[in-house]
Amino acid sequence: PADSATQQIRLNQIGFYPNGPKTAIILSGVTGYYTVKTTGGKQVFKGRLKRCDEPALNGKYTSVADFSAFNKPGKYVLEVKGLGDSYSFEISKSIHDQVAKALIKAYYFQRVSVSLPEKYASKWARAEGHPDDKVLVHASAASAERPEGTVIASPRGWYDAGDYNKYIVNSGISIYTLLSLYEDFPAYTKTVKLNTPESGNGIPDLLNECLWNIRWMLTMQDPNDGGVYHKLTNAQFDKMVMPDKATTTRYVVQKSTAAALDFAAVMAQSARVFKQFPKQLPGLADSCLAAAKQAWDWAQKNRDVIYNQNVINQKFEPKIVTGEYGDRYVSDEFIWAASELFVTTGDDRYTKAVNIIPDDKMPLPSWSQVRLLGYYSILRNSGNLKSSFPGLDKLKKNLISFADDLTKGWDSTAYQTVMQTKRSNFIWGSNAVAANEGVALLQAYKLTHDKKFLDAALSNLDYLLGRNGTGYSFVTGFGSKPPMHPHHRPSISDGIAEPVPGLLTGGPNPGMQDHIKVPSTVPDEAYIDNDQAYAVNEIAINWNAPMAYLANAIEALQSQ
Ligand code: G3I
Ligand code: 9MR
């Protein structure tokens, strides 16, 4: 099909469930008929286009082809007379199975301190990078027991993003979200086979993958006081080279309250998850819980230690100019850590130490806003809490009304997605906003079994896989028009045309913080597939995680 035609028709480029909703958006807003044809050209369905109620953010009207009634598995295209054919798509059970797995396997490709053999990494095999067995304590982190220049070992973990550094704050929400997939869908998750070195060891592959990063996180705690270093980093971002060629000195920097609390939250959650594997992981759950408690205690004594790189760089050398993740407000981190420690231990001294529900606000999760992560945990474990939580009904009510708000008006928008209801969604990492909205909607679905929440969540999955203002499917390797040039050092420097697969790019953001001009500054169109455009086309562990949750949860729920 002519590219101009396919560009006019926006749909999930992977496909649809036989009994699920199926829509495509026609940009020109034409009315009249559309047809669904087999890839061999045989017409199998015909419907009328309907104009969407609201214009897109660019002011233009679109129309929608709703062919949900057509449910026969197969490979098809959608044709609009006078415009042409869409990309081909499939109707099938388990339609997102491959992309869902790849979104988790992507973390294997981010592994630090290990080579990736061809057996697991196919053509993206690469040498080991960053052993991180001799990391220096930076001046900003110096203590009596560990003065500046002390050498510590802090191997493993995942590269945060397109860069090669390791950040505790961002690991927090990433690990949490992936472990939540297991907590919410244990039976499904056990069936997810990823072909990684640990496969078949009796632990689900998703959890094996998480362990690679959790074991690194544990090394970031100073055993002398329980505090947690904010990040492990070079002084400056590496050049665009493969991991094994990036060999500058690595440091752990100042401890922070946010790092301690995110660490405490994740270790408390890890303790209850890994307790289920005592034979394979003897002692691990206990170690995680002990680490969580120590980090919590440190944060109680250090309630407001903010990681502020400007301040640090005025005092210490070498200056550190890599990612900051410098959250200035940590009340939500206290809520999250207290919630996880309470759920795991049943001890209400944690929930009594913090005002868990200071108000009825339900801020969408991000690396700097983690309050709902705690609420999700309390709610998902509400059936087996070791002691009662007085605010339970209130939390449940607030979460459902938050999900109700999210669904308001989504089917009037120009792309018929929840993501498009708010202009302010299009920030750096906007694709994770779409994915996290999907996760929130699925939490509400789990509580209510109200199908409108499931359909709304699926609308954002469709958004991320092609039904959007850019025409891209935002996951590398998946869909007819995926990103080919993510801001991802291995993908840029490995000499292989296709980027590492299963990576979700940041997505539309008109901010141009990277000074790369985007073709349009309309918020939902502000995107370019350029490997220098880190404000729209980088990848990151905290963006892949909600996308992995969304795609896998929907796979797990597909028959409902
Ligand atoms: O939240 C505000 C919003 O209220 C406001 O309307 C909007 C207007 O610009 O800005 C929003 O904040 C933005 C924030 O991202 C949204 O999460 C900031 O401008 C923007 O600077 C900030 O960007 C962060 C970026 O680092 C720069 O610090 C991203 O969140 C964060 O994901 C990104 O993380 C980087 C690491 O530092 C280094 N490793 C790669 C990673 C991914 O790019
Ligand atoms: O590669 C870096 C990416 O991971 C960060 O998100 C981004 C913003 O902090 O910075 C990137 O590094 C660039 C640096 O900021 C400026 N010089 C060029 C670097 C590569 O594009």
Please report, for the chain, the start and end positions of each structural domain, with discontinuous segments joined by +. Answer: 1-95, 113-410
Counting from 1 in the atom list of ligand 2, the atom nearest the Cα of 535 is 6
Which single residue is written with the structure tokens 């231990």? 345
Counting from 1 in the atom list of ligand 1, the atom nearest the Cα of 424 is 6
Class of domain 113-410: mainly alpha
Q: What is the pLDDT of residue 438?
A: 98
Q: Is 132 a catalytic residue?
A: no
Q: What is the C-alpha to C-alpha distance for residues 232 and 163, in angstroms, rounded to an integer?
A: 12
Q: Is 529 a catalytic residue?
A: yes
Whether ipTM > 0.90 holds is yes
Tokens of 356: 């868990």
What number of CA atoms fall less than 13 Å from residue 371's CA on the CB side? 19
Residue of 262, 529, 531, 555 marked catalytic: 529
Q: How far is CA 358 from the centre of its chain?
A: 27
Q: Is 488 a catalytic residue?
A: no
- Short-list 431, 428, 395, 426, CA closest to 503: 431
Q: Is 304 a catalytic residue?
A: no
Instruction: Please tell me the number of the ligand nearest to residue 428's CA.
Output: 1
Q: What is the pLDDT of residue 5?
A: 66
Q: What is the C-alpha to C-alpha distance for residues 226 and 251, in angstroms, rounded to an integer?
A: 18
Q: What is the C-alpha to C-alpha distance for residues 418 and 73, in angstroms, rounded to an integer?
A: 27
Rounded CA Rg of the chain: 23
CB-CB neighbours of 515 under 10 Å = 8
CB-CB neighbours of 113 under 10 Å = 18
Q: What is the pLDDT of residue 82?
A: 87
Contacts of residue 393, defined as CB under 8 A and 6 or more positions apart, other chains included, come to: none
Q: How far is CA 349 from the centre of its chain?
A: 31
Q: What is the C-alpha to C-alpha distance for residues 236 and 226, in angstroms, rounded to an integer?
A: 27
Which single residue is written with the structure tokens 């053999």? 117
Ligand 1 contacts (CB < 6 A) are 160-161, 163, 323-324, 366, 424, 427-429, 511, 513, 534, 538, 540
Ligand 2 contacts (CB < 6 A) are 161-163, 237, 323, 532, 534, 538
How many helices (H) and strands (E) are present in the chain, helices listed first? 18, 14
- Going from the C-alpha of 67 to that of each of 16, 366, 383, 454, 554, the distances in angstroms are 10, 34, 39, 18, 20
How does 253-267 read in b/e, with b if 16+ C-beta sit within 10 Å?
bbbbbbbbbbbbbbb
Counting from 1 in the atom list of ligand 1, the atom nearest the Cα of 534 is 43
In contact, 544 and 171? CB cutoff 8 Å: no
For the chain, 560 residues long, the average pLDDT of each consecutive 10-residue run is 73 98 95 95 97 96 98 97 94 98 99 98 98 98 98 98 98 99 98 98 98 99 98 98 98 98 99 98 98 98 98 98 97 98 97 97 98 98 93 98 98 97 98 99 98 98 98 98 98 98 98 98 98 98 99 94
Residue of 79, 132, 160, 163 marked catalytic: 163
Stated length of the chain: 560
Out of 427, 505, 518, 542, give the residue to mutate to test ligand 1, the one with the largest number of ligand atoms within 8 Å of its CB: 427
Q: Where are the beta strands (DSSP E) in 41-91?
A: 43-51, 63-66, 74-80, 84-85, 89-91
Counting from 1 in the atom list of ligand 1, the atom nearest the Cα of 539 is 42
Distance 281 CA to ligand 1 centre (A): 37
Q: What is the C-alpha to C-alpha distance for residues 246 and 139, in angstroms, rounded to an integer?
A: 22
Burial (CB < 10 A; 0-12, 13-18, 19+), residue 449, is exposed
Q: What is the C-alpha to C-alpha distance for residues 356 and 341, in angstroms, rounded to an integer?
A: 12
Superfamily of domain 1-95: Immunoglobulins (2.60.40.10)
Distance 511 CA to ligand 1 centre (A): 10
Same CATH fold assignment for domains 1-95 and 113-410: no
